[in-house]
Structure 1
Amino acid sequence: MKIDDIARLAGVSKAAVSLAFNNKPGVSEQTREHILNIAQAHGYQPRTIKTGKEVQKPNAIIRFVACKNTDIITEHYDSLPFFNELIHHITEQVKQHGNTLVISSIDVQDLQHELQALEKEQPSAGILLLGINLTPPMIEAIQSIHANVVILDTSFEHVDANFVSINNSLGGYQAGKHLVKLGHSRIGYVKSSTRIPNFIKREEGFRAALTEHHLTIDEAMTFDLQPMLVMPQERLQQSIGLLQERPTAIFCENDYMAISTIKSLQNIGLRVPEDISVMGFDNIFEAKVISPELTTVHVKKDMLAKTAVNRIMDNLSKGEKNAAHIYVNTEIVERRSCKPVTSMDSMSM
């Protein structure tokens, strides 16, 4: 294969291929990656290639393991929007490094045994572990199996391991500040019936924001929902209906619960946001298609994936353990499910 063939396959000029191989300006980074990927896929190794950085040995196996449980990461977790998007970004990041992603899901109680068997059968260069219900002893056991492990979407400050997690506390705090800025002071809270560290941190951040403004959440306006069920909730409808004084806004610990809350309110004749504003957390795809579109806390799934894969690659290239706790910050996405409070809103409650 010649440089002319690479140019034809990539749909670019020979000059562009030469610039890409020599890491010179004149082509975009996207085009450069496109050309190099085609060259690699066809086994073409230009003598003049200069990337300006160390290239990982291609075709290393990176193992992604989802730790299943009955409440959050279920058997069909990969069909859920949050996890589906996260896996998509991880796959793309691993490909960019010239490696292969192998995906497995293991019941959390069988994690150590099953992972040992997988590694014996097909050794990997690194493990990305998605386990929101992992415990510190479980993490330490996994580290005894493999030296290059990154834990996604959870974190324990007292454990010496690589963690890449959402800044849940910041996200909850931002949500609280946003509702207060809109003038809400009578705020309800929808919490997951399954308490995991991520949800606990979101609640802590949210309550901290309210405390700064001398506000609290009335216990009568705190509601429990199943975290991954998207449908009207009879118990929530009854609880809202029995309130003598309804909240002007409700914050939900994830978007699934927020969508269920919107459907529940609509079932009992309450309008969102005219009667009650609703806010979620995660910014899943459905947040943009529910009516009204959901105001939420945006979790940067692409940044989570990129950061986690880079940690794996850094440890692989340096051949040493450099553990770090990394938190990916969040931001508010304003849509139509929240509105400012007016004097009429306060009177109507």
Structure 2
Amino acid sequence: MKVSIRQQDIARHLGVSLGTVSQALRNSPQVSSEMRLEVQRAATELGYIYRPRENQQTDMTNLAFISGAQPNNFFYTGVLQGIEESCRERNITLHYSSLKDISQPDLQRYRANDGLLVAGYVDQRMVRELKNLGLPMVLVDTNLSHLGLERIEIENFGSTYQAVEYLAAAGHRNIAFLCAPPPSRFSSFDNRRGGYFSAMSDLGLEAFDIHGLTDPVLKTSEQVITRWLEQHGKPAFTALVCCNDEAAIGALLAFEHHGIQVPQDISIIGFDDIEMAQVVRPALTTFHVDRNFLGSLAVNQLVERFQQPDKPVASILLETSFVERASTRRLI
């Protein structure tokens, strides 16, 4: 009796995902030409006859979340939670990997997934290698627009611009910015720095940045501010905008250790609204990012890209919301 060959058999034969096989047989541009030829050649050898059906869709079953951030990163744990919840609702198996653990030979194992979510700091060469696998891919919180990939970004530039406007309206004229040295490993940090400098210029204020942050940001932030205070003494600036909440909390601890009170002497604004921002004293004024929604949105975009591989590439900008707490005060 003749055995009927299915797309699953081709996928198993080549060690790739069912979604890759389906897209290759439909000549989808989302799959590389080399992969399309390999799938179509295997289909011929195995005796598979492709019969297109109208409105054909396949379900995504395996998804890889690849992060350049450290596993205990306060921000991405919230994003991952949203991804996990969305995958459970869709019966998608989620695989987690740290980008720094991926070597060249490891890349091929990702071919068994139906799609990739890549978040945080990413090396462009590695992203190009992942793109060459021909799988649907969505970048989360990273701006590599020149690669032509679906991406979801946060309103970084506009938020720090708003932070400077808020502080200036409260009477602050000497406003500093704390971040990693430009260009940083995180494109989001560079965009936040850009928003700060743009607002300071537009308001006719002199910009001043303190940099040197590395991972872990919370620890190095405290060290950087401590070193700066030891070199320069009590700061002339009355407000500090930080690239994220960890940087803000580290700065707050350093100021406290040197007898500088927040917000009486210096107002501080963070970014992300991680859980610690609410419990630290004084509670941190910051920009709230709905990390759970960000993760869920990323899965939705990836599934849509998987089901509609020929649709135009989209970039989504997720707005933040300003949360005023006790770490800032008015001077006028």
Question: Which TM-score bucket, shorter chain as reference?
Answer: 0.7 to 0.9
**Cα distance in 1, alignment partners of residues 268 and 56 from structure 2:** 47
1:167 aligned partner: 155
1:98 aligned partner: 91
Are residue 283 (structure 1) and residue 283 (structure 2) matched?
no
Q: Deviations over 1:83-136 (max 9, x none)?
A: 1111001111122223221222232662x53131243xxx1221111242321x
How does 1:221-232 map onto structure 2 within 5 Å? 222-231=210-219
Q: Aligned-pair RMSD on alpha carbons? A: 2.5
**Cα distance in 2, alignment partners of residues 98 and 206 from structure 1:** 42
Q: Give how far 1:245 is off.
A: 5.3
**Cα distance in 1, alignment partners of residues 57 and 295 from structure 2:** 18
**Alignment length, in residue pairs?**
274
1:339 aligned partner: 329
Q: Is the 8 A contact 1:170 1:330 kept in 2?
A: no
Are residue 274 (structure 1) and residue 274 (structure 2) matched?
no
Q: Greater shift after overlay, 198-207 or 294-303?
A: 294-303
Q: Is the 8 A contact 2:60 2:306 kept in 1?
A: no
2:242 aligned partner: 252
How does 1:186-197 map onto structure 2 within 5 Å? 186-193=174-181, 195-196=184-185, 197=187
Are residue 113 (structure 1) and residue 101 (structure 2) matched?
no
Uncovered stretches (5+) of structure 2, i.e. residues with no partner: 1-54
2:74 alignment partner, one of 74, 77, 81? 81
Q: Give TM-score, length-normalised by structure 2.
A: 0.75
Q: Which amino acid aligns with 1:323?
A: V
Q: Give TM-score, length-normalised by structure 1.
A: 0.72
1:302 alignment partner, one of 257, 279, 292? 292
Q: Is the 8 A contact 1:223 1:236 kept in 2?
A: no
Uncovered stretches (5+) of structure 1, i.e. residues with no partner: 1-53, 68-72, 343-349
SS at the partner of 2:118? strand
**Cα distance in 2, alignment partners of residues 108 and 200 from structure 1:** 25
- C-alpha change, 1:216 and 1:109, in structure 2 (3 Å) is farther
Q: Give how far 1:227 is off.
A: 4.9
1:143 aligned partner: 131
- C-alpha change, 1:104 and 1:199, in structure 2 (3 Å) is same
Percent pairwise identity: 26
SS at the partner of 1:138? helix
Query: After the TM superposition, which parts of structure 1 deviate over 4 Å for at least 4 consecutive aligned residues?
Result: 54-59
Q: Give how far 1:234 is off.
A: 4.6
Asked which structure has the greater RCO (Cα within 8 Å, sep 6+), the reply is: 2
Q: Give how far 1:328 is off.
A: 1.2
Q: Is the 8 A contact 1:247 1:276 kept in 2?
A: yes
Q: Which amino acid aligns with 1:98?
A: N
**Cα distance in 2, alignment partners of residues 187 and 62 from structure 1:** 43
